[in-house]
């Protein structure tokens, strides 16, 4: 078993001392224009005018709290008594297994938009050899290597010989090792030495980098350089545009986009394609309104609008589907009913927290449905529905089946999301990135647990306390209900955790967070809600280009902002499908109901469309 990282991407950075905590080479400050630019840079730099590398691609994550490295610098976390923590796979099998439960009314679109924006602002990178090849921490047959044979970046996950999934009774070859390579540490913004902070190779902002890339080189490969458009693969037979295909492609479906994970699974590929098409739709409209504009102007104005749409969908629709009204109010996440906000605060360290990237937002892995349902326009469930574990990194049906793309959209609108709980679907739990004809793949939960330890994340109890909740003093305290307290976690999981962990202070934050009882009116539990809300607060208040921010040279006009606030995921589906999605419920993150009925896409009273004429003769600088 081998895997470069838990998201299936390729290690793009070489494992050199330049990216280690003991590095004595500082980042050179990015030189920004003397006058603030109206447009974002491709790599996220120059967002802050005082710390020009803040939020730039290939800078480190910030920390909410000092990490719990065993040696205080970079050794993975150990148990509170100094002993080894239980195997991440053992914890996963004992605590996080079981059949997924659907939510009551949340559509699967929640999971898919969440994955898109997660890939927009974070991507940890693992070590590779200097020639770019992957490091193997297990034998080719899944056996364990002797310590003397392990690369220093290896942190393999042990698999029990009685693991009923990887080592069934009739197995002739036993698997004892799951490959795992440590994340690269990034250079600190202030050039200081200290504990390891891992590298984020994407921009730290919610800036559409899934569409446009996180550096100028990627952006250049995506642009047509005519009419402000992005490149496409034209399917003339079916009168549609698909994502561009690499020139070296041999399978007919080697799509590429702003993020290298675009073809990780078909629903994600569809979501990427929708926003890619939205850019070109907006660019064509702007070009028609402003025939004298250059390619560069059209491109940058379209990008500016599309990023604003994505931010509005995130804050106006996605966050209310995930977090409780109380948390949204506490962290000031709701868009204003009208006008601008002016509370830009900036930051002194990177916007994306290690805790959010490595634990909090990985709650989305529990939302995945392994059986992906496809629907016709009349609501009929199609027999061509599929199992996710059969389609990892294989978007070929998008190319070969003209009905498939829109059927996936209708599935995202119709199928219920799985609950955010301690259960994770089999497609990710045991079959992640399963190879063709293989029985098992990887365990995303075990990878997440191990990644948290690799990054030195303190225990679940530490983050409960950091978020202002009571610290559990025993395993029994996790579920006991008294007159003054509610259960922290679900069912009898405290007993199971007590059998797996040596102390309640050893519980991994990803494990404890998924096991929590959700807040009323929310999908996520208290600790995960805290980590997620804190992050979206920082993304809102520290982004100088945030769409609602006023008083800046690049701010939208009041009338333009009012149009941006008409954006919705429902309208993105309507405007950018293959043409057979004719009706959508206005709130695409909730399944259709009496209060959220399906309406025709032509019904702009229920699903408003942006009036781009407000960008005619836009004042440019």
Active-site residue set: 119
Q: Give the E-state strand segments of 285-433 in sequence order.
A: 371-372, 386-387, 416-418
DSSP state of 560: H
Pairing of strands 177-178, 199-200: unpaired
Question: DSSP letters along 579-615, please?
Answer: S---EE-SSTTB---SSS--EETT-TTTS----GGGG
| Beta-carbon count within 10 A of 341 CB | 15
CB-based burial label for 342 (10 Å; 0-12, 13-18, 19+) = exposed
Q: Which residues contact 125 (CB under 8 A, 6 or more apart)?
A: 5, 9, 11, 12, 13, 183, 184, 199, 201
Say whether 184 sits in a helix, a strand or coil. Answer: coil
The annotation status of 365 as a binding-site residue, yes or no, is yes
| Beta-carbon count within 10 A of 149 CB | 11
Q: Is 257 left (phi over 0), alpha (psi -120 to 50) or beta?
A: beta
Q: Give the E-state strand segments of 305-403 in sequence order.
A: 371-372, 386-387
Q: Give the E-state strand segments of 480-608 in sequence order.
A: 583-584, 599-600
Task: List residues forming the annotated binding site for heme b.
Answer: 365
Task: List residues forming the annotated binding site.
Answer: 365
């Amino acid at each position: 078993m081998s895997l470069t990282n838990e998201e299936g991407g390729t290690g793009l950075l070489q494992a050199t001392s330049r990216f280690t905590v003991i590095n004595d080479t500082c980042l050179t400050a990015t030189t920004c224009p003397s006058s603030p630019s109206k447009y974002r840079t491709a790599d996220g730099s120059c967002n802050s005018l005082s710390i020009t590398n803040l939020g730039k691609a290939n800078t480190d994550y910030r920390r909410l709290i000092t990490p719990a490295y065993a040696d205080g610098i970079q050794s993975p976390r150990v148990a509170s008594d100094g002993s080894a923590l239980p195997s991440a796979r053992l914890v996963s099998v004992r605590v996080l297994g079981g059949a997924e439960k659907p939510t009551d009314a949340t559509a699967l679109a929640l999971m898919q938009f969440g994955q898109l924006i997660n890939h927009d602002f974070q991507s940890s990178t693992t070590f590779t050899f200097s020639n770019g090849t992957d490091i193997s921490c297990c034998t080719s047959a899944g056996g364990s290597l002797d310590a003397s044979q392990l690369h220093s970046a290896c942190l393999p996950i042990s698999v029990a010989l009685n693991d009923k999934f990887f080592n069934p009774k009739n197995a002739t070859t036993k698997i004892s090792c799951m490959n795992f390579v440590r994340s690269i540490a990034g250079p600190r913004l202030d050039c200081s030495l200290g504990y390891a902070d891992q590298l984020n190779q994407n921009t730290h902002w919610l800036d559409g980098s899934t569409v446009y890339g996180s550096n100028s080189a990627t952006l250049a490969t995506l642009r047509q350089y005519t009419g402000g458009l992005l490149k496409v693969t034209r399917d003339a037979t079916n009168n549609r545009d698909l994502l561009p295909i690499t020139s070296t492609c041999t399978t007919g479906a080697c799509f590429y986009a702003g993020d290298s994970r675009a073809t990780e699974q078909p629903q994600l590929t569809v979501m990427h394609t929708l926003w890619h098409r939205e850019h070109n739709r907006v660019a064509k409209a702007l070009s028609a309104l402003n025939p004298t504009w250059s390619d560069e102007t059209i491109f940058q104005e379209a990008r500016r609008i599309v990023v604003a749409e994505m931010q509005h969908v995130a804050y106006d629709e996605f966050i209310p589907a995930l977090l409780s009204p109380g948390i949204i109010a506490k962290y000031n996440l709701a868009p204003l009913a009208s006008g601008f906000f002016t509370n830009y605060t900036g930051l002194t360290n990177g916007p994306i927290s290690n805790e959010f990237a490595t634990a909090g937002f990985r709650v989305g892995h529990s939302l995945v449905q392994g059986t992906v349902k496809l629907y016709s326009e009349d609501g009929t469930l199609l027999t061509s529905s599929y199992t996710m574990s059969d389609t990892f990194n294989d978007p070929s049906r998008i190319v070969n089946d003209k009905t498939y793309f829109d059927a996936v959209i209708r599935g995202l609108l119709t199928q219920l999301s799985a609950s955010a709980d301690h259960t994770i679907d089999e497609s990710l739990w045991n079959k992640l990135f399963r190879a063709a004809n293989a029985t098992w793949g990887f365990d995303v939960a075990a990878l997440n647990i191990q990644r948290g330890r690799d990054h030195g994340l303190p225990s679940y109890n530490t983050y409960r306390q950091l978020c202002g909740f009571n610290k559990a003093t025993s395993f029994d305290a996790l579920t006991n209900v008294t007159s003054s307290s509610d259960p922290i976690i679900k069912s009898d999981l405290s007993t199971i955790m007590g059998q797996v962990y040596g102390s309640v202070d050893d519980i991994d934050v990803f494990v404890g967070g998924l096991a929590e009882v959700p807040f009323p009116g929310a999908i996520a539990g208290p600790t995960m809600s805290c980590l997620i809300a804190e992050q979206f607060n920082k993304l809102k208040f520290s982004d100088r280009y945030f769409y609602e921010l006023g008083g800046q040279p690049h701010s939208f006009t009041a009338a333009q902002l009012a149009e941006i606030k008409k954006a919705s995921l429902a309208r993105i589906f309507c405007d950018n499908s293959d043409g057979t999605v004719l009706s959508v419920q206005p709130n695409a993150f909730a399944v259709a109901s009496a209060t959220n009925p399906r309406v025709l896409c032509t019904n702009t009273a229920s699903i408003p469309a942006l009036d781009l004429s407000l960008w005619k003769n836009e004042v440019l600088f």
